[in-house]
Amino acid sequence: MNTRLISPVTDNIDKQRTYREQMGRYKRAMQEGLNFEAMLISYATIEDRLLSMLYHMAFRKNRKTLDPLKTTKSYYLQIVETYKAYDENTSLGLKSITSKMKIIRCSLKWVATTTDDYAQNKFLRVLKKQFEGMDIDGL
């Protein structure tokens, strides 16, 4: 029963092919009025992109687990505590889509509002520079 139904993506060409297939399935589902299936395909794509972004933000230890990277977790905890909505908790779990979105949203708020150049902290300096290179206004 431990057999994977979906084989993991091995490289960028495989990832592109997989996304193309999923987009085709999404379009067919919408044309056939299978809205729930289309929603599940969209949800899976969003989950994949959020996990990828958290990996590239050096929040996740590796692509195979949901464990946070111990050396950067404290930075993200501080960012989330500072920039979360008043009614949100400060947990940094990766099991729900809202938790993943909270970490990214708080990080984007941090970049947009902080004026510190973080000269003494290489990780925060590089993270801020990478975020500033993104089209944050488009998000």
Domain boundaries, the chain: 11-56, 61-139
Whether 15 has a pLDDT exceeding 60, the answer reads yes
- Per-residue pLDDT at 11: 80
Q: Which two tokens stand for residue 92?
A: 């940094």
Whether 64 has a pLDDT exceeding 80, the answer reads no
Number of Cβ within 10 Å of residue 108's Cβ equals 16
- Per-residue pLDDT at 127: 87
Cα 96 to Cα 66: distance, rounded to the nearest angstrom: 11
Residue 70 half-sphere exposure toward CB, CA atoms < 13 A: 0
Whether 139 has a pLDDT exceeding 60, the answer reads no
Per-residue pLDDT, averaged over 21-40, amounts to 94
Owner of token pair 């590796």: 62
pTM: 0.77
**Residues in CB range of 15: below 8 A, 6 or more apart:** 9
Could you tell me the pLDDT band of residue 121, with boundaries at 50, 70 and 90?
confident
Phi, psi at 101, each rounded to 5°: -65, -35
Whether 5 has a pLDDT exceeding 60, the answer reads no
Of the candidates 57, 46, 58, the one whose C-alpha atom is nearest the C-alpha of residue 22 is 46
**Residues in CB range of 67: below 8 A, 6 or more apart:** 60, 61
- Per-residue pLDDT at 2: 58
Whole-number average pLDDT of the chain: 84
**Residues in CB range of 98: below 8 A, 6 or more apart:** none
Per-residue pLDDT, averaged over 83-98, amounts to 85
Whether 101 has a pLDDT exceeding 70, the answer reads yes
Strand partners, 98: none
